[in-house]
Amino acid sequence: MEIIAGMYQLKVPIPNNPVGYVLPYVFEVEGGCAIIDPGWDADESYEALQQQLAEIGAGVRDIKQVIVTHVHPDHYGLAARVREASGAQVIVHEKDIDQAWRFTNPDAIGDWFTRAGMPAAESATLDRGRPFRRMSIATPDTTMKDGEALRLGKFRLEVIWTPGHSPGHACFYMRDHELLLSGDHVLPTISPNVSLQPGSDADPLGDYIHSLKKLRGLSVRRVLPAHEYSFDDLGARLDELEHHHAARLQEVFDAIDAGARTAYEIAGGIRWAIGTFQSFNSWTRRAAMSETLSHLRYLVRQGRLREALVDELLTYSRP
């Protein structure tokens, strides 16, 4: 689909994933094209990418640059295969450069979740880094940073660093056209996963909430996300996302007030959109716990909860 002259939106499937697809963006540049978020590393995805590029008069071999909003497998997965076919330059944000390696080789991940309250028998079954096993890791050729401008043919894209969903997530603002490529940072209906990762001392939810505020005041007539569909009212969606996390923080307090103490117990008291915590498989429980831990970290850093290590378990209580 042509967004404006010389810029196109594709739709590349993500096999066996409820999100369904990623939306790459292709720009005409001198001698070929550049692509943002090429998609998942699977034959089905690669074939769809090839077919859709052909429909706009291009091919994988014409790709000069592969740029990603963040290093997750549904966005970065095909970077290595595209570069092998075309010699394209691969560009990621400087804060995301080690993401794939961190997740592919997590240290003592079972112990980390056990300390967060997951029963040892369950944490021992966790499938380590599962989605990242489906990604051929492409070492980036160069990095981008907050505030710089990328020149893609006649287009100028301003890099806005928006950490939270990943440490180096970036949005791209096309000021001249009042377009925002929002990646996974702002989606029309889905609230992106904001998780605390094993061994991290970061505050991803604090980063995410701050990053939402960075988009306030931009003149945007259309938001172009990496999933779902394009939408118009950026301000209204920012309001909804801030409200969502405020409500989730209250659920954390409610669970603690009801007697939950560990992240595992607190996650069990949260209302998840895709079902109950008790019904989740081990991978989904891991994701739910990681998101719960990000909310707990945020509240601890704000002084609104107290964290303590009791009998080798991290516990949480009101101050």
Mind listing the pLDDT tens digit of every residue in the chain (319 residues)? 999 999 999 999 999 888 899 999 999 999 999 999 999 999 999 999 999 999 999 999 999 999 999 999 999 999 999 999 999 999 999 998 866 445 444 446 788 899 999 998 888 777 544 544 455 667 899 999 999 999 999 999 999 999 999 999 999 999 999 999 999 999 999 999 999 988 789 999 999 999 999 999 999 999 999 999 999 999 999 999 999 999 999 999 999 999 999 999 999 999 998 899 999 988 888 889 999 999 999 999 999 999 999 999 999 999 9
Q: pTM (2 decimals)?
A: 0.93
Q: Among 98, 95, 82, 84, which residue's Cα sits nearest to residue 50?
A: 82
CATH code for the domain in which residue 91 is found:
3.60.15.10
Domains of the chain: total: 1
What pLDDT is recorded for position 155? Answer: 98
* Residue 64 in domain: yes
What is the C-alpha R_g of the chain?
20
What pLDDT is recorded for position 112? Answer: 87
Query: How far apart are alpha carbons 117 and 260 in whole angstroms?
Result: 10
* Residue 288 in domain: no
Query: How far apart are alpha carbons 189 and 155 in whole angstroms?
Result: 28
What pLDDT is recorded for position 127? Answer: 55
Q: 12 phi and psi, to 5 degrees?
A: -105, 125
* Residue 246 in domain: no
What pLDDT is recorded for position 281? Answer: 84
What pLDDT is recorded for position 118? Answer: 92
Alpha helices in the chain (DSSP H): 43-55, 73-76, 79-86, 99-104, 109-115, 120-123, 204-214, 234-257, 263-268, 282-301
* 212, containing H or E segment: helix 204-214
Q: 215 phi and psi, to 5 degrees?
A: -90, -10
What pLDDT is recorded for position 123? Answer: 81
* Residue 39 in domain: yes
Other residues' Cβ atoms within 10 Å of the Cβ of residue 107: 9
* Residue 157 in domain: yes
- Position of tokens 């669970």? 255
* Residue 289 in domain: no
Q: Which residues contact 196 (CB under 8 A, 6 or more apart)?
A: 202, 204, 290, 291, 293, 294, 296, 297
* Residue 187 in domain: yes
Identify the domain containing residue 186 by its residue range: 2-238
* Residue 220 in domain: yes
